[in-house]
Amino acid sequence: MKHPKLLVAGAGGLNGRLLLKKLAENNIPVRAMVRNKESTKELENETTEIVEADLSNPATLDKAFDSIEQAYIVTAVHPDAAAYFSNFFQAAKKAGVKHVIKLSGLGASADSPSEILRQHYQSDAQLTQSGLDFTVIQPNSFFQNILGQARAIQRKWRFGMLLGEASQSLVDMNDVAEATVRIVQDKSHRNKIYPLTGPESISGNDIAEQLATFLEKPVRYKPVSGTLAKQEMLAGGLPEWNANALVEIMELFATGAFQETTSDLENILDRRPNRFADFVTENRAVFF
């Protein structure tokens, strides 16, 4: 295997796995950073090598960065996320990395009502002021979030979201991964902050209507309250901090403040980003 010059942190998560797949399709050698090599063996292939490191332990990062020129980081929603990013940027700088790509979130700002978006702002600012070349990717919420409700949709033709009657310019995680590959390959994307959205703004009722048409079933949307959403997350085993932070950000989405669309994703991909209908078509098997 050609020696990888690209490090991907958070490689075992949802965004990381998709990115690895797209990099392999483009024959780009990569070193995938995971916390547990044993449980992520399947990520290894002809173009992907695995390194074990922990973002909360800076001493483990030097080995991961050995001979690396470009690095990408996504990490979990976590109270210490800003410290994880910080450790990664410092290790990148120490290793002489040229370009760091960070997965952030749309609306990251110092005074956001969402702690997740304030954390992202802090880390985005740290990266853009680090002296490293950077690209900050700020996507809106992903279509893929609804996949967690696929079984309820199959069984009861019903789903719930904490979005009220608002609409949101949701985006396809696949498109974001594909855009990331372009950002890796093309130097013109350096030192840019990209707010990425889908091509349209859709509400819970729009989603229900599209699923109903596609599946030929009477699919219904029911807005969910913050209290109920939190109860369900805690019952599903999510830690309290995460449940609070997720309810907080979703209540922000429900104000309708995330419905604008941007042209950045279309410009990077050089095609129209996927619509929700494209996503449902591609995931037909999951909903049936």
Ligand X SMILES: NC(=O)c1ccc[n+]([C@@H]2O[C@H](COP(=O)([O-])OP(=O)(O)OC[C@H]3O[C@@H](n4cnc5c(N)ncnc54)[C@H](OP(=O)(O)O)[C@@H]3O)[C@@H](O)[C@H]2O)c1
In the bound complex, which residue of the shown chain has the CB atom lying closest to ligand X? 13
Task: Provide, rounded to whole angstroms, the least separation between the CB of residue 78 and ligand X.
Answer: 6
Phi, psi for 259 (deg, rounded to 5)? -100, -10
Residues making contact with ligand X (CB under 6 A): 10, 12-16, 34-36, 54-56, 74-77, 84, 103, 105, 116, 139, 141-142, 145
What minimum distance in Å lies between the beta carbon of 143 and ligand X?
A: 9
Long-range contacts of 77-83 (CB under 8 A, 24+ apart): 77/116, 77/242, 77/245, 77/246, 78/242, 79/241, 80/56, 81/116, 81/119, 81/120, 81/123, 82/119, 82/122, 82/123, 83/56
Nearer Cβ to ligand X, position 56 or 154? Answer: 56
Q: Closer to ligand X by CB, 82 or 215: give it.
A: 82
Structure tokens at 94: 């120490």
- 209, two tokens: 């209507």
- Cβ distance to ligand X smaller for residue 143 or 287: 143
Q: How far is the CB of 56 from ligand X (least distance, A)?
A: 4
Distance CA 80, CA 123 (A): 11
Minimum separation from the CB atom of position 217 to ligand X (A) = 25
Min dist. Cβ of residue 189 to ligand X (A): 18
Q: Which is nearer to ligand X, 28 or 136 (CB)?
A: 136
For the CA atoms of 103, 109, 114, 119, the dihedral, rounded to the nearest 10 degrees, stands at 50
Choice between 77 and 212, CB closer to ligand X: 77
